[in-house]
Structure 1
Amino acid sequence: MKPAVVMVDVDGVVVRHPDPAGWSARIEEDLGVPRQALQDRFFKPSWDDVVHGRAPLRARLEPVLAEIAPHVSCNQLIRYWFEGDAHLDKALLLQLAEVRASSVPLHLATVQEHERASYLWDTLKLREKFDDIHYAAQLGVSKPSQEFYAAVEQRAGLPASAIAFIDDTEKNVEAARSRGWNAALCPPPRATLSTLIPELSD
């Protein structure tokens, strides 16, 4: 039996950076921002609050940049980040479009803060390819917490048994399965959706 909805992760699934080091691999060469300092001063102490919607991205990022790279504005850094982390997996999106054309809605279920969620949805136009987005800052919780999956169920108005889910992280998949979702791990090289979720072929 086909699922009522297919939930899809973003980073590592819909968006896949070609460099294993990710969007910040060349940030020191390109912008003059010390990568380790950005990690130590912004991501380590502030990311948990930002990604769970407890603090605005810019409120935490701006003072850090003023100290470690005063020549770079928040706008510059965020643009570099979002544009550098926008490599869509077009082959997967074509497969997902076929699923959606068969009357199975597609939703994003992802760990994002508000600004990047908006960038993904509006600027990258994922709103044209998916029917809804559920993300950490919006919900106040993130994968692999059971509260994340419960909050997504509530927003979607669906029971766990009606949801298929694709993620690239094993602990997220296992947590979803323990909740009752039909969850599949999507490692490279990319498997076909019908292999990951055979029910889509029903």
Structure 2
Amino acid sequence: MPVNAVVFDIGRVLIEWEPERFYDSRIGAPRRQQLFEQVPLHAMNLDVDRGAPFRETVYALADAHPQWREEIRWWHDCWLQMVPREIPRTVRLMQALQARGIPVFALSNFGAETFELACGAYPALRGFDHTCVSAHLGTIKPEPQIYAILERGTGVAPENLLFTDDRPENIEAARLRGWQTHLFTAPGAFAARLVQEGLLTEQEAA
């Protein structure tokens, strides 16, 4: 089926998302491993992605683990340091698609406040033709509801969507709905897929 629109995940596709690397730089890998084993930081982050208030959620977890209070609070206080840069080639691919008249959509697990922080640091994230952010919708990938919301909001049939995401479970959920999919590993491989689909020329995808 032809691809009429391309759907992008954001973290680790358009911008880096590296909390472990941030903590390694602050407290070293062995202590970071202890922290992540003892404290459900990623589960907390999913709560934020579902719409829980950012600061209150992080600080409540910090109060529940006083031995790690300062380190847990960094998740809020130093959050932008965990998304240290955009991924330039993927951003160029997004913009090249739009220049060809191909709509680009965002489908991302993101907190409401953290998404605004990210957009402030990386203005390209405001450039989508349609944006589905989990915290605004009360559902996260890979739950079927968030995919259905994008389908309804864009009016594009599932089989005409090409979705790229770095997490296999999110890709599989889209595939089960009939979406075309690409597991994101590197910008070059995704660029090749866009050329293969006839969406971009090799020059446009460079």
2:23 partner SS: coil
> Paired residue for 1:97?
95
Distance in 2, matches of 1:155 and 1:47, equals 26
1:124 aligns with 2:106: no
The code of the aligned residue for 2:60 comes to: P
- Aligned match of 2:57 in 60, 69, 73? 60
Percent identity, aligned pairs only, is 22
The code of the aligned residue for 2:49 comes to: V
Q: Kindly state the Cα deviation for residue 21 of structure 1 after the two structures are TM-superposed.
A: 3.6
Q: Which runs of 5+ in 1 are unaligned?
A: none
Q: Which runs of 5+ in 2 are unaligned?
A: 202-206
> Paired residue for 1:148?
146
Distance in 2, matches of 1:127 and 1:48, equals 20
1:115 aligns with 2:113: yes
The answer (yes or no) to whether the contact 2:15–2:86 under 8 Å persists in 1 is: yes
Q: Which is further off, 190-199 or 149-158?
A: 190-199
Which structure: greater helix fraction?
2
Task: State the number of aligned residues.
Answer: 196
Distance in 2, matches of 1:157 and 1:40, equals 44
Check 1:100–1:132 CA distance in 2 against 1; reply closer, same or farther (3 A cut): same
The answer (yes or no) to whether the contact 1:23–1:81 under 8 Å persists in 2 is: no
RMSD: 3.1
The code of the aligned residue for 1:125 comes to: P
What's the TM-score once normalised by structure 1's chain length? 0.78
> Paired residue for 1:198?
197
Distance in 2, matches of 1:189 and 1:92, equals 6
Distance in 2, matches of 1:136 and 1:51, equals 6
Q: Kindly state the Cα deviation for residue 99 of structure 1 after the two structures are TM-superposed.
A: 0.8
> Paired residue for 1:5?
5
Q: Which is further off, 19-28 or 160-169?
A: 19-28
